Structure 1
Amino acid sequence: MTVAEPRLTLERRLLREHTTLIACDEVGRGSLAGPVAVGAVMIDAPRSRKRVPQGLRDSKLVPEMRRADVAARAVSWVAASAVGWASSVEIDEIGIMRALGLATIRALADLRAHGVVPEEAIVVLDGNYDYITPAGATGLTVRPVIKADRDCASAAAASVIAKVARDALMTDLHDELPAYQWARNKGYASPEHRDAIREHGISPHHRASWSLTGPSTLF
């Protein structure tokens, strides 16, 4: 099966109307444990005319052994990149959608610290819902785009950068609590992860408000 390659068609069109474009995508939304992460990348018109990095895809379509190399190429390609986080405790306290917005706001704040002005950009958000504005962001022009991480090279870059960062964190947490096998499942609902929760209970890194011991599902 041929996998469609992300392009820069939308980015180039939007950059005729805006000086910069920020693309955002989340990872970890369906995980049972660990934080949610949102990648954010900024490109401008000159970057949009460069060749898309080799192998760049939505992170779910990049083999795990290749993701770090693809993410490194993506970081070099974009003008700036950042990853924002919201913890499992925050997810329990405010819900996953508000937590996604909070993580995005933090990613945008990191970009701002590197000289990016989000209010001057068009913010392309993967999905069909603007979860940034309800979380308290103001002055942004947000454009949700369904399947942006598949079709738009900038969103694919945000996706793979965030995925590599979050997977590294979950691997580190595995060393702290190896029973849950997070180095393999990255906190998602694999059968071994469900079984470990039943045997050992939940850890401080689990999303306690979620149904953690139901049927095994990989998201």
Structure 2
Amino acid sequence: MSAAPTLEVEQGFFAAGAPVVIGVDEVGRGAIAGVVAVGVCAILPGVDAPPARLRDSKLLSPARRAEVEPLVHAWAAAVAVGEAEPAEIDEHGIVAALGMAARRGLIALHEAGIDVGASTVLLDGSHDWLTPALSSPLRILTRVKADRDCASVAGASVVAKQHRDALMVADHERWPVYGWSGNKGYGSPDHLAAVAAHGASPRHRVTWLRAPSLLDGLDPAPGATV
């Protein structure tokens, strides 16, 4: 298994006076169906060592993620997941939708008693897509591979992944033809073939299905809306 994420970066923020560190990570950015979900994981000075099996969600099997998620809830001061709907992604674009989802997650942390306004936010990646979505500025720092290296962000990734996967499994029950229990809304060949044959569902990001390369080589069935 890959090296475990640590609290080295977060402890540096605490040493500099941060009263709260919030790790942030997104799940579902590249899917063609379902919400985009953003996990937020708040920790406080004096936090215990992270769960031993915690890793970036992409590095964990579904069974291991299911084991680790409740440990993250018990370890962190608070966790939450914000969502943006497919229609919001179609209307505003994925970057703005990420900001909407993260803002909703931060509001949930505030409602849970976390001093979000005083926090240092650690955002996975190199692009700060969160600041434009905020009505009040926060201290936001980006870090490439923070989901792999930083425990608060890894915790956010696990919680967000479990949350979004559960939503896709539930949506699969209503629209089983697209195979969402397996592909989780990503553009697998079988998923794309189902869209070509049956058209888009209300849970698809319709603007994404219009990309010229997406359905190349697939012949839509008569009456299918893609």
Fold equivalence (TM over 0.5): yes
What is the SS of the residue equivalent to 1:92?
Answer: helix
Which amino acid in the other structure matches residue 14 of structure 1?
F
Which amino acid in the other structure matches residue 22 of structure 1?
I
Larger radius of gyration: 2
What pairs with 1:137-148 in structure 2 (closer than 5 Å)?
137-148=135-146
- Name 1:46's counterpart in structure 2: 46
Deviations 1:94-149 (A, max 9, x none): 00000000000000000000111211000000011111111234221110111100
* Offset of residue 185 of structure 1: 0.4
Q: Is the Cα–Cα contact under 8 Å of residues 4 and 52 in structure 2 kept in the other structure?
A: no
How many angstroms apart in 1 are the aligned matches of 2:217 and 2:115? 44
- Give unpaired runs (5+ residues) of structure 1: none
- Name 1:4's counterpart in structure 2: 3
Q: Is the Cα–Cα contact under 8 Å of residues 7 and 152 in structure 2 kept in the other structure?
A: yes
- Name 2:104's counterpart in structure 1: 106
* Offset of residue 54 of structure 1: 2.3
Give the alignment's TM-score, normalised by structure 2: 0.91
- Name 2:221's counterpart in structure 1: none
* Offset of residue 153 of structure 1: 0.6
* Offset of residue 214 of structure 1: 4.5
Q: Is the Cα–Cα contact under 8 Å of residues 105 and 137 in structure 1 kept in the other structure?
A: no
2:215 counterpart (202, 210, 213): 213
* Offset of residue 66 of structure 1: 1.6
Instruction: Tell me, yes or no, if structure 1 residue 33 matches structure 2 residue 57.
Output: no
- Name 2:21's counterpart in structure 1: 21
Count of aligned pairs: 213
Which amino acid in the other structure matches residue 200 of structure 2?
I
How many angstroms apart in 2 are the aligned matches of 1:155 and 1:215? 39
How many angstroms apart in 2 are the aligned matches of 1:153 and 1:87? 27
Instruction: Tell me, yes or no, if structure 1 residue 191 matches structure 2 residue 193.
Output: no
- Name 1:58's counterpart in structure 2: 56
Q: Sequence identity of aligned pairs in percent? A: 46
What pairs with 1:56-205 in structure 2 (closer than 5 Å)?
56-205=54-203
RMSD: 1.3
* Offset of residue 74 of structure 1: 0.7
Deviations 1:25-76 (A, max 9, x none): 00000001000000001101111xx122021100000101121111111111
Give the alignment's TM-score, normalised by structure 1: 0.94
